[in-house]
Homo-oligomer: A and B are copies of this chain.
Amino acid sequence: MSEHQWIVTLDLEGVLVPEIWIAVAERTGVEALKRTTRDEPDYDVLMRDRIRLLNEHGLTMSVIREVISGLSPLDGAADFLARLRSTHQVIILSDTFQQFAGPLIAQLAHPTIMCHRLVVEHDRITDYQLRQQDQKRRAVEAFRSIGFSTIAAGDSYNDLSMLRAADHGLLFRAPERVRLDNSDLSALDDYDDLLSAITGLTA
């Protein structure tokens, strides 16, 4: 048995649940909400644009919450996470906002999640607040500083610093480009394979 104590950190969107902004765009018909950092590399510009769009279309916090409540975790995600949590400590590290994550996290049986927050005033989304820059990497470093070994899994560019900071980083359902740029990292696509990899590394 491993003499380490482990924390497994998982990205949320793309790994356990759908991309939330895209789902909101599809369900509300506001196509412009589909823009991502690939279209607008300045995150602050992107977010201010998204908040402007929400308000223009009358998408209050309660409307958004309703939309997100209609989403489901990815097929097999809830079962995978339940099995992983029965043997491992898991913390979700996500760059989404707590108000967006809430309804999906409930469907995943409330794993601990660390993310950011939207500023909401009288049901209107007025601003956003990042808890800290590069929060995924810094959380992994914090867990290591209190004696944990870490495994991190994610699918995208904003996961890479977390994957690199962890004892073991795993790509999960990553786009081809991310895999090619990080060919030294194992890339998995199936929950059973991810569970086996984590179990193997922590055995």
A86 CA / B1 CA spacing, docked (Å) = 34
- Answer yes or no: A170 CB below 8 A from chain B CBs: no
Assess A146 versus B110: contact at CB under 8 Å? Given A5-B131, A119-B3, A129-B3: no
- Answer yes or no: A104 CB below 8 A from chain B CBs: no
- Answer yes or no: A64 CB below 8 A from chain B CBs: no
A34 CA / B146 CA spacing, docked (Å) = 30
Partner of A146, one of B119, B129, B139, B147: B139
Q: Which 5 A-B pairs have the closest CB atoms?
A: A131-B147, A142-B142, A132-B147, A112-B112, A85-B110
28 A/B residue pairs, CB under 8 Å, sorted by A = A3-B117, A3-B119, A3-B129, A5-B117, A82-B110, A85-B110, A86-B106, A86-B110, A89-B113, A89-B114, A90-B112, A91-B112, A109-B109, A109-B110, A110-B111, A111-B112, A112-B112, A114-B146, A131-B146, A131-B147, A131-B148, A132-B146, A132-B147, A135-B146, A135-B147, A138-B146, A142-B143, A142-B145
